A = this chain, B = another copy of it.
């Protein structure tokens, strides 16, 4: 009896959350920016509200150009993104920015300078800037980012920038949420940093040497061109790599080189526009679907009916009483029983 009452309350609660998600989605599609902001919070919180909203919104997405912007700290990503916004707004385009900081996975937190940027476009409803904290593991971040990007795409923005700070694996996973990845470099970096950025260059479609007014910028650009032509990477992953990345030089603070970068983005947009989803979009769909599928499986293993058995199995593995393969088989068996 008590359990049935609890079940009913839970079902009511869940219907209420689904209704709220649908409402937020409809309001977002009508252009309501406050609803959009609230929906992104739900996505970030992985709330059930986000699921029903995504179910409503997702099929409207697929029109925006998704551009990842990444590079080491101090390379001027935020300034360059601001310059790109200015240029694109001048051409009548709408722009959304998702700024992700994966470097501090536990505390997360908004990016420095975002408040400033948001204020400078405060009156313009065709610019939308949002910081996302990196909660949970890298895979989770990639899937949350993917969902946020789909929401902004469905909301009708022409360009969605995904800006990440830091260096390494996380950027690569976040880059997977974009059609086109721009990697920034600052001029005159030491040898060690060169070694680190090899990993980043591998995901680059366009490499930008920013702070182009500094001595060494042109030399860095020609070094990068030499590196990239020596490496001439084959398609190691599933992302399309029709030719080696372009190397451009910008000075984001003055705007120099920014029109050329916008032109390069436009060329890639045109190239990617034809026909059915290419390998990058297919890989992204797979990542999103997979994240949801594993999340459901995990939720099932920790629900009221399975929790005790799951915990007992994990404890046996931790105590080295059974091996992890036997543990996995047992959990999968339990989760797929009906």
Contacts and interface: CB of A to CB of B under 8 A. Distances in A.
A196 B55 contact: no
Contacts of A107: 198-199, 202, 236
B324 A169 contact: no
Contacts of A60: 320
Given A276-B315, A285-B327, A314-B282, A320 B58 contact: yes
A291 to B, nearest CB: 8
Contacts of A173: 137-138
A332 B297 CA distance: 8
Majority SS of interface residues in chain A?
A: helix
Interface in A315-338: 315, 317-329, 331-332, 335-336
Nearest to A146: B324
Contacts of A57: 323
Contacts of A292: 324-325, 327-328
A277 interface: yes
Given A168-B166, A168-B170, A327-B289, A318 B284 contact: yes
Interface residues of A, number: 75
A105 B288 contact: no
B102 A169 contact: yes
A110 B196 CA distance: 14
A172 interface: yes
Contact of A320 (B59, B134, B199): B59
Given A138-B173, A320-B62, A314 B289 contact: yes
A170 B317 CA distance: 24
